[in-house]
Structure 1
Amino acid sequence: MAAASVGLSMVLISLAKLLLVLCGLATVLFARHTMTTNQPLSGQKTPVVVLLALFAFALSLFWSVAPQAEALGALAKYGKLMVIILMLLLVRNRREALYALGAFVGAQAFLLMGSWLLFAHLPVPWATSDMATTHYAVFSSYLDQGIMGAVFAAVCWHLRFLFPGRFGPQAAIFLALMALLNVFFVLSGRSGHVVAIALLSITIMWELPRKHRALAVLLPFVLAVALFFSSAQVRERLVLAQTEVQAYSQGQSNTSSGIRLNFWHRAIQIMMERPLAGAGIGSWSGEYNRLQRAQNPAHVDINSNGNPHQEYLLWGVQLGLPGVLLLLMLMLAVLADTRVMTPHFARATQSTLLALATACFFNASLYDAQIGDFFCVLLGLLLAAGCHHPEKQAKAAPRSELAA
């Protein structure tokens, strides 16, 4: 249910997370023998860094400048990182991992179908997004759906040989192709375009012979140019970004890019004021309002528990430079855990990680709801699937078990 819920309505995501937490607590309390036997978290680096990050955020409550309610609310938002550990804890074998991945693929295919139906101006009664009729997003924003579509395409491609049936691999390739076309030619989210270009580039690199992989450095630029001339959505959004950046340089900051650039500028200022420990969990909105009021007394405060639309800077604002390093450590831990996986699981996980690392440059992709839940559930599921692969389990099994 957790694997199927991501990308769908927030109600389903919240309910699935609640059930996941309850199952995790039940496992810890009542399945000690099973946990001792299987050792699901043994050797995994990611859970250690997740717990370290959550401890650091909780510790920053002692010096946070944010009101207690805002600080606790921000801490609760980062609580979704525990989903990664829960997936590793609850998925007991490869069969369960494949069932969960099947649920994920089925739900994402349903989401993709809904977007195409909206694009064709056909009725989609289950679409609840405010952007359904204008930007063809079904449940979330076109920004989130574009990123999720790009990741879904990469997962389908790398795990295509696991799709059941005679034509399973062909069906996976079809889904990947339809997802990419949806991202580039239907959805207008620039973050989704950038993530899709990054994932497409690294996928092509992996398919090239090793002696030609150095050419992959040029792939993102080649793909960007090709899409600029072939996709009206990509071209319009790139031209708009250029126009908005030029307007910001002339003092106009009321555009999408202008707001982001202003947020990033203020976030760097806050980090420079408190480089070692940050302003504490949940402090972004209050600190931003403080700096804006100092420049403009008529400034209208932004809502509490906001973010600077950049995950790296958000961690830096709250925890200082150590926070940025902690986020990088989390990503490196996931990367390290993929090195013991078989190639198809490793590449699917690394592609998801690359998508997260790229999206975090333009959005708070772990802090935000829906897209943050998407990444946490999928990363946890892929890490669990790679951890329980038969070849890996066979290598780790005692000699007596192999003999039996």
Structure 2
Amino acid sequence: MTNRYSATSEQILVYLAIFACLSIALPTAFMSISMGLFVIIWAVSGNYSEKFQIIRNHPAALMSIALFCLYGLCMFYSSAPWSTRLTWWMKYHKLLYIPMIISILSIEKYRRIALYAFLTGMLLVLFISYLKWMGLFPHKDIGQGYFVFKGRIAHNIFMAFSMYLMLHLAVIQRSNIKRWVWISLSILASLNILFLVNGRTGQILMLVLFIWFCWETWGMKSIKWLIALLLMTTVISVYAPNTPNFRLTEIKQEIDTHKPNEAPTSSGERLEFYKNALILIKQHPVLGAGTGSFEHEYRLIAEKQNTLSTYVPNPHNEFLLTWQELGIFGLILLLAFFATHWITSYKIDRSQLNNEHYSYALRGLIITIFVGSLFNSLLLDAGEGKFYCVIAGVLLSAYKPRKN
């Protein structure tokens, strides 16, 4: 009876993990419901000895738990009120999704379905975005382009990673028809990022991921593809009508034209966030000011100087935020967190069916979150943080330690 209960629970957990992957592209409520149920059922599913053995032997799972525990430890000396400390610690509970998903996703078929579920959701988003652009779907213009469900930042981040996945799926196809289908979809995703939704982080990520894809796939031979991308982007940006601005070209202009007493620009604000975050880091460089302290500490700075913004919950940089809250040891652990995932991607047994794809996909995912975290606090953010932790859990489950 107990074995049957555990087996049924684990099957439900697998389906919830797959639905969570689909929910990444959908409104936030879907992800909250799917992962909320996942955590509850995982906690009562039984078979704990086997689950904990898998987690204990998986370095990436252990690193996720260690980072979450450090955020909890640093609550005890934070300068923020206790309610804020607990709230901010719980924002990082998503780190536990990684070991939990690893512990239940052992069958390759479900891992593949989960990844395709994510792509299905993103293709739905891509389709609706183009319908909005063509005027065939209701759209309220707020100056962010034709995003769907999520804001422009999350939309373009998720779409950039989807483009990378589709490019690699095109490479591994044996059928020419399927190959060109994935190539065509990846091109549509690229154009969507560059010209229909003006989220700069995703635009940067698209270029970085394309360069990485070419290098990892063809090495030095990839130079011609990079030149082709540059030419295509230039031609479309000059001749394509009725598309939102390619915002990467505006960064230097925003910085150069920014003046303290005028309306703040996005780039101007970020520079101020970074500068003041470094001031806060210098005050507590080793241990940090504690979990959830950034908003409180930043307000003290804002009261002493004429800042563009007085309410700043995070510096829009995950690395600066972690250093300010957890100190240099926290920053080192965050870098080790990403490094462990990266090293694990090369230890996946690629002799098995589809495992090589998971290895490539995991490295693309790490690049997505790492580069994106230079411009946003992505692990802190609900949508982007859950995106990374859920997909990373799925891909890392392909790694099988010998001890298991």
TM-score tier (shorter): 0.7 to 0.9
In 2: Cα distance, 1:85 partner to 1:166 partner: 38
- The correspondence for 1:173, drawn from 177, 183, 192, is 183
Partner of residue 324, structure 1: 331
Change (3 A) 1:330 1:397: closer
1:10 aligned residue: 28
Secondary structure class of the residue paired with 1:370: helix
1:359 has 2:375 as partner: no
What's 1:402 paired with? Answer: none
Kindly provide the amino acid, as one letter, of the partner of residue 168 in structure 2: H
SS in 2 for 1:41: helix
Q: CA deviation at 1:189?
A: 1.0
* Equivalent-residue separation in structure 1 for 2:213 and 2:268 (angstroms): 32
Secondary structure, in 3 states, of the residue corresponding to 1:376?
helix
User: 2:271 matched to 1:264?
Assistant: no
Letter in 1 for 2:325: Q
Cα shift at 1:199? 0.3
1:164 to partner: Cα distance: 11
Give the CA deviation at 1:371: 1.5
The percentage of counterpart residues that share the same residue type is: 25
1:94 aligned residue (81, 84, 108): 108
Tell me the equivalent position of 1:227: 233
Deviation for aligned residue 1:240: 2.0
Give distance in 2, aligned partners of 1:42 and 1:94. 21
Instruction: Provide the secondary structure at the position in 2 that maps to 1:40.
Output: helix
Distance 1:107 1:316, change over 3 A: same
Contact 2:56 2:62 in 1 (8 A): no
Is the alpha carbon distance of 1:102 and 1:279 closer, same or farther for their aligned partners in structure 2, counting shifts above 3 Å? same
Q: Aligned residue for 1:190?
A: 200
Q: CA RMSD in A?
A: 3.0
2:135 aligned with 1:121, yes or no? Answer: yes
Q: Give per-residue Cα distances to partners, 1:237-260, cap 9 Å, x unaligned.
A: 233211211134777571111111
Contact 2:166 2:186 in 1 (8 A): yes
| 1:288 CA drift (Å) | 0.9
Contact persistence 2:24–2:383 (CA under 8 A): yes
1:7–1:371 contact (8 Å) kept in structure 2: no
For 2:343, the aligned partner's letter is A
Superposition pairs of residues 305-320 of structure 1, within 5 angstroms: 306-320=313-327
What is the match of residue 401 of structure 1? none
Taking the aligned partners of 2:49 and 2:309, their CA distance within structure 1 comes to: 57
Matching of residue 380 in structure 1 with residue 377 in structure 2: no
User: Aligned partners of 2:114, 2:308: CA distance in 1, in Å?
Assistant: 48
Q: CA deviation at 1:299?
A: 8.2
Q: For the residues of structure 1 that align with 2:245 and 2:325, how far apart are their CA atoms? A: 36
Change (3 A) 1:357 1:252: farther
Q: 1:157 maps to what in 2?
A: 167
Which residue number corresponds to residue 19 of structure 1?
37
Structure 1 residues 16 and 291: alpha-carbon distance in aligned structure 2, compared to 1, 3 A threshold: same
* 1:302 correspondence with 2:320: no
Equivalents in 1 of 2:146, 2:202: separation in Å? Answer: 14
> In the TM superposition, what are the counterparts of 1:233-252 in structure 2 within 5 Å?
236-248=246-258
Q: Distance in 1 between matches of 2:37 and 2:81?
A: 30
Q: Distance in 2 between matches of 1:58 and 1:199?
A: 33
Give 1:357 deviation, angstroms. 0.8
Going from structure 1 to structure 2, the CA distance change for 1:164 and 1:73 (only over 3 Å counts) comes to farther
| C-alpha distance 229-286 of structure 1, shift in aligned 2 (>3 A) | farther
Indicate how the Cα distance of structure 1 residues 201 and 161 shifts in structure 2: closer, same or farther if over 3 A, else same.
closer
> Contact conserved, 1:190 with 1:237, CA < 8 A, in 2?
yes
CA contact (8 A) 2:318 2:377 kept: yes
1:71-98 deviations in whole A, cap 9, x for unaligned?
1111111111111112111212101111
Which residue matches 1:55? 69
Aligned-residue offset at 1:160: 4.4
For structure 1, the residue ranges without an aligned partner over 5 or more in a row are 399-404
Q: Which moved more, 1:334-343 or 1:306-315?
A: 334-343
In structure 2, relative to structure 1, the CA distance for the partners of 1:85 and 1:397 (3 Å cut) is: closer
Structure 1 residue 285: deviation in Å? 1.1
Residues 100-122 of structure 1, C-alpha deviation per residue, up to 9 Å, x if partnerless? 12211211111111111111121
CA contact (8 A) 2:71 2:326 kept: yes
Q: Distance in 2 between matches of 1:182 and 1:347?
A: 23
- In structure 2, which of residues 27, 32, 54 is the aligned counterpart of residue 40 of structure 1? 54
Please give the secondary structure, in 1, of the residue aligned with 2:54: coil
**Corresponding residue of 2:344:** 337
Distance 1:168 1:24, change over 3 A: farther
TM-score, length-scaled by structure 1 = 0.84
- 8 A contact 2:166–2:183 mirrored in 1: yes
8 Å contact 1:136–1:187 — kept in the other structure?
yes
**Maintained 8 Å contact 1:311/1:366:** yes
TM-score (norm 2): 0.84
Q: Deviations over 1:343-392 (max 9, x none)?
A: 322111101111111100111111112111111111111112x326xxxx
Is the contact between residue 144 and residue 197 of structure 2 (CA under 8 Å) also seen in structure 1? no
Indicate conservation of the 8 Å contact 2:197/2:244, yes or no: no
Aligned length: 376
TM-aligned CA deviation for residue 33 of structure 1: 6.3
Contact 2:51 2:104 in 1 (8 A): no
Aligned counterparts of 2:153 and 2:237: Cα–Cα separation in 1: 17
Structure 2 gap ranges (5+): 1-18, 351-355
Superposition deviation, residue 280 in structure 1: 0.7
Helix, strand or coil at the partner of 2:92? helix
Cα deviation per residue 1:292-313 (whole Å; 9 max; x = unaligned)?
10124x987416xx21111111
Contact 1:45 1:336 in 2 (8 A): no
Deviates more, 1:158-167 or 1:70-79: 158-167
